[in-house]
Amino acid sequence: MAGRFALADRMALIDASGIRKVFDLAATMKDPINLSIGQPDFDVPEEAKREAIDAIARGFNKYTQTQGDGPLREAIRGIIASEFGWGADYGHLVTSGVSGALVLAFLALLNEGDEVIIPDPYFVMYRHLVNLYGGVPVTVDTYPDFRPDPARIEAAITDRTRVLVLNSPANPTGAVYTQTELEALAAIARKHDLLVISDEIYDAFCYDGPFASIAPLYPNTLVMRGFSKTYAMTGWRLGWCAGPKHVIEAMTMLQQYSFVCAPSMAQAAGVVALSLDVGPYVEAYRRKRDRVVDALGESFGLIRPGGAFYAFVPAPQGQTATEFVRKAIANNVLIIPGNVFSAADTHFRLSYATSDDKLARGLDILRSLA
């Protein structure tokens, strides 16, 4: 009986993440082969852990400024100047993860009925947050190769379109956008005066060439990066956002009344983390990616992912992804059906952020099921 304690109408616009449901299921299983969660299997680098411990010991446990602590903001300022060529007209903000940055950005930018273009497949949070804040998610099909087709994207633009969301390297597909593709997307955004949100949380994980950002190509870009994937700091809730100063100022004001600030000791560790070489971790994941492609490329028709640590795999012919996922879970392998990330139920997401042994066993089982 809800009575006067009924939930707000906006809660009907979102539902529980399919990823989280599988995560909860994993907690009830005995030693599952978990290929579902996008969480690095390596630990936080020792240097970053020591700095966080030292920060706690020296009393760095209170609020920082809402926009972030000075040393970390200075390090971020150096990144945006050297990589994007951005100067005083741009602002930056330390956030509670990239998820926190997305919450603040959509809340600051969207009016009722404003449209947001999102390539499909997409990270599940995008569509739900747009709905929650009164916007209209407009998904653009990128099947079968998950490349961003400029013509399709431009065809989806209306006079209500405000934002184009890009995610490269992408979750769930592992697609990495090329410089040429980004130049074409920048031209469309410029023509229609759109703000681009560029989610670059997986920027370190590119296996077949260097990472490219749209930020140097298009000034009206909000770049979002974080520490969760590159430095395995998923539980530390630390990220950052940079972009046009008036947007960052609005997001900072909203953070003051919501998250307040990112965790102080995590910010101290973040300064150290940014100076570390994660090349060995990236190389390890490149090898895992190659194992997945070797195992599933021919038998499943998998398109080779170029980055992140996911493969978006076609379900065997004659089966929906949901049906195949049920079989996999019955055989102790946890994967995510593609309809969590997409209008289609034709693929499943596999995360290879796990041990080599579990990955090998999981791949063997998936091949046997196919």
Per-position DSSP letters for 187-199, written without gaps between them: HHHHHHTPEEEEE
Predicted pLDDT at 42: 95
Quick check: 12 pLDDT over 90? no
8 Å CB contact between 299 and 313: no
Q: CA-to-CA distance for 297 and 163, rounded, in angstroms?
A: 35
| 127 within domain boundaries | yes
pTM of the entire predicted model: 0.95
| 53 within domain boundaries | yes
| 84 within domain boundaries | yes
For residues 72-76, average pLDDT: 98
15 and 51, same domain (yes or no): no
Instruction: For residue 143, give the CATH number of its domain.
Output: 3.40.640.10
Closest CA to 71 of 41, 51, 90: 51
- Higher pLDDT: 23 or 219? It is 219
12 and 88, same domain (yes or no): no
End residue of a domain, out of 273, 289, 311: 273
Q: How many domains does the chain have?
A: 2
16 and 148, same domain (yes or no): no
End residue of a domain, out of 273, 293, 328: 273
Confidence of residue 6 (pLDDT cuts 50, 70, 90): confident
End residue of a domain, out of 244, 273, 302: 273
185 and 329, same domain (yes or no): no
Strands laid side by side in the 90-95 sheet: 90-95, 239-244, 221-226, 195-199, 161-167, 115-120, 136-141
